[in-house]
C-alpha cells in the first residue's frame, strides 16, 4: 500500500450492502487501498453478526450502522457489544433522547477502555433523509431543518462525537456544533457515476470541501466495472481537495 492516499484512506467509507459475507469479503479484498467499511443491518444479519470481526481480521476498520433506538439501558448494553467487537464507528438515533445518548457514550467509552481498544466514534442519526417536512408533520414534529439542528445540538450536549448527515446539512451543523463535531455524509456521487436513488447529492470533492469528515459511498464503487479503479478515482479526488 502506498502513502499516496493518506487522507482519503481516513475519509472514505465503502458501504458493504451485500446479502452474503462471501460477496462482501470479495469486494473488500478487491479494494486494498480502502481501510474503512460500513456494515449495515443487511450484512450484519446475513453474517450472523460476524462481519465486524471478519473485517477486523482483514485489517479493516468498521462503521457499524445499526442505528440503535431503545430505552437507555438496552442501548447502553448494545453499545458495549459494538465497542467490544472493535467497531470504530457506530450509531444511535438522536431521537432516543438525551439520557439514551449519554448512557450510550459512557458505556462505549468504558467498554473500549476495559478492552484497551481505540475509543470508538459514536454518532447520532438526526432525521433520516428519506423523511421530508410533510412526513415529520404527520408524526407531530417540526420541519426537517429545525429538527436536524435541535437533534444535532442535543447529541453534542450528550457527548456524542458527531452525526450522519446529508451533504446539504453540513453548513447548518457546523454553525451549531462547531468544527470538532464529526460529520459523516452519505448521498455522495462522483460526476461520472449515476445517481441511483440518491436525489440531493454532492461529488466527493464538493462534500469534503464543504466540511464532511467521512464520506459513505456504496454503489458508485461496488457496482462499478472495476471497483478498485472507481475507489482510487474517488480517493484521488479527495486528495486533490486536501492538497
Q: Which residues are catalytic?
A: 67
17 binds ligand C5P (CB under 6 A): yes
Among 162, 186, 205, 227, binds ligand C5P (CB under 6 A): 186
For residue 5, count other CB atoms closer than 10 A to its CB: 21
Q: How far is C-alpha 85 from the chain's CA centre?
A: 17
Q: How many residues bind ligand C5P (CB under 6 A)?
A: 15
Among 120, 205, 218, 227, binds ligand C5P (CB under 6 A): 218
Beta carbon nearer to ligand C5P, 80 or 189? 189
40 binds ligand C5P (CB under 6 A): yes
Size of the chain, expressed as the number of residues it contains: 243
**Residue 196 to residue 45: CA distance in whole angstroms:** 24
Cα separation values, 76 from 64, 69, 134, 218, Å: 15, 10, 32, 29
Taken in order 71, 76, 77, 78, is the CA torsion positive or negative?
positive
168 binds ligand C5P (CB under 6 A): no
**Residue 91 to residue 124: CA distance in whole angstroms:** 5
Applying CB under 6 A, which part among 20-28, 78-86, 107-115, 218-226 lies near ligand C5P?
A: 218-226
**Residue 149 to residue 219: CA distance in whole angstroms:** 29
Applying CB under 6 A, which part among 45-53, 173-181, 214-222, 234-242 lies near ligand C5P?
A: 214-222
Query: Minimum distance from CB of 204 to ligand C5P (Å)?
Result: 11
Chain positions contacting ligand C5P, by CB under 6 A: 15, 17, 40, 129, 164, 166, 186-187, 196, 198, 216-220
Amino acid at each position: 500500500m502506498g502513502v499516496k492516499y493518506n487522507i482519503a484512506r481516513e475519509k472514505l467509507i465503502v458501504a458493504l450492502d451485500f446479502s452474503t459475507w462471501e460477496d462482501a469479503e470479495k469486494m473488500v479484498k478487491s479494494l486494498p487501498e480502502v481501510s474503512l467499511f460500513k456494515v449495515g443491518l443487511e450484512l450484519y444479519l446475513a453474517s450472523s453478526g460476524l462481519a465486524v470481526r471478519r473485517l477486523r481480521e482483514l485489517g479493516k476498520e468498521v462503521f457499524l450502522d445499526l442505528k440503535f433506538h431503545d430505552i437507555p439501558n438496552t442501548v447502553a448494553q448494545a453499545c458495549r457489544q459494538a465497542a467490544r467487537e472493535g467497531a470504530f464507528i457506530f450509531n444511535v438515533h438522536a431521537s432516543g433522547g438525551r439520557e439514551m445518548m449519554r448512557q450510550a457514550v459512557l458505556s462505549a467509552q468504558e467498554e473500549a477502555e476495559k478492552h484497551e481498544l481505540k475509543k470508538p466514534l459514536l454518532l447520532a442519526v438526526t432525521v433520516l433523509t428519506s423523511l421530508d417536512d410533510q412526513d415529520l408533520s404527520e408524526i407531530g414534529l417540526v420541519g426537517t431543518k429545525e429538527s436536524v439542528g435541535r437533534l444535532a445540538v442535543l447529541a453534542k450536549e450528550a457527548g456524542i462525537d458527531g452525526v450522519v448527515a446529508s451533504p446539504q446539512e453540513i453548513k447548518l451543523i457546523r454553525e451549531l456544533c462547531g468544527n470538532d463535531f464529526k460529520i459523516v455524509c452519505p448521498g455522495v456521487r462522483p460526476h461520472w457515476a449515476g445517481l441511483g436513488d440518491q436525489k440531493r447529492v454532492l461529488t466527493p470533492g464538493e462534500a469534503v470541501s464543504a466540511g464532511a469528515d467521512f464520506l459513505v459511498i456504496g454503489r458508485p464503487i461496488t457496482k462499478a466495472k472495476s471497483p478498485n479503479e472507481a475507489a482510487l478515482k474517488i480517493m484521488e479526488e479527495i486528495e486533490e481537495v486536501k492538497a
